[in-house]
Chain A
Amino acid sequence: MVPTLGYVLAVGALGVSSKLALRTLPWQGLLVWMGAGYPIVLVVLLALGDLDVTLVGDTWWAMASASLAVGGLIALYVALGTGEASKVVPVSAAYPVVTLVLSALVLSESLTFARAGGMMLVVCGVVLITAAR
């Protein structure tokens, strides 16, 4: 729960800091900064001895995850570039539905009524936050 809340806080603040950066920079500029930031993280992990570059069976899933993370972000920026944020963001909030279905199908996680209901409340709340004026 603690790292999940860390994610919520970081991404929540990311929306504001990105908005401030985008006053004078294009969205591609933010990607360049991320490209500059990640090598620093890798150097730190290597210095700490926490990084072991070995290829195993699940490395393909790691590569797929990296592609999805970057591809998803680019798709969002493209959508925001062509559509209104008030329409793009509420639709984009539906992604937990995909995770819930895929985690049940692929990972055999339980798809309980409470879990589906909780997820729907979060999605509805996010839609309301982003669509309301």
Chain B
Amino acid sequence: MTAATVARWMLPTLAFVVATGALGVTSKLALRSLVWQDLILWVAVAYVAVAIVITRRGVARLHMGPGAPWAALSAALAITSVISLYVALETGEAGTVISVSAAYPAVTLVLSALVLGERISLARVVGMGLVVTGVVILTAL
């Protein structure tokens, strides 16, 4: 694999790491004088703007095919998650809230096994154990 090939996925992945990592801090700064509903307003503005650009460019549209219910559920879950995160950041410290929130792959792992029939290997069970232990340490200490 060439450096250019690695850079094609590594750079946007690092952009995600920095953006999502900084999100907890900027949200906390905003929540000094705003409430979570105000933050949702701006996230909504941003998503609507992106959706308009995507649809106007013809890249995607509001499909009503077989995947639509799952896409709608995904959107509902994404919005619920953002609201939950902002409510958590209103009272919790950014470092703790974001670290605990990073445990979500453990939930995906269980649901993937239940809904998609994916296999849970011993290594993944150990990974879940590490996640749960980390969350306990973060919340107890």
Contact = CB atoms under 8 A, between A and B. Distances in A.
A and B form one complex: yes
B62 interface: yes
- Chain B's interface: helix, strand, loop or mixed, by majority? helix
Contacts, number: 419
Given A61-B27, A72-B15, A95-B21, A111 B95 contact: yes
A33 B84 contact: no
Contact of A17 (B12, B29, B77): B77
Interface string A30-42: 1111111111011
A78 B85 CA distance: 23
A58 to B, nearest CB: 4
| Residue of A65, A82, A95 contacting most chain B CB atoms (<10 Å) | A65
Q: Which residue, of B26, B85, B112, B137, has the highest number of chain A Cβ atoms within 10 A?
A: B26
15 contacts: A10-B84, A12-B104, A31-B51, A42-B41, A58-B32, A58-B33, A62-B41, A66-B45, A66-B46, A72-B15, A84-B9, A93-B102, A94-B17, A119-B102, A125-B129
Interface of A: 1, 3-4, 6-26, 28-39, 41-42, 45, 50-53, 56-59, 61-76, 78-80, 82-84, 87-89, 91-100, 102-104, 106-107, 109, 111-112, 114-115, 117-130, 132-133
Given A78-B12, A98-B18, 17 more contacts: A14-B74, A22-B67, A31-B54, A31-B60, A32-B55, A36-B51, A42-B44, A65-B43, A70-B43, A75-B16, A96-B98, A99-B24, A102-B94, A103-B28, A103-B98, A132-B121, A132-B127
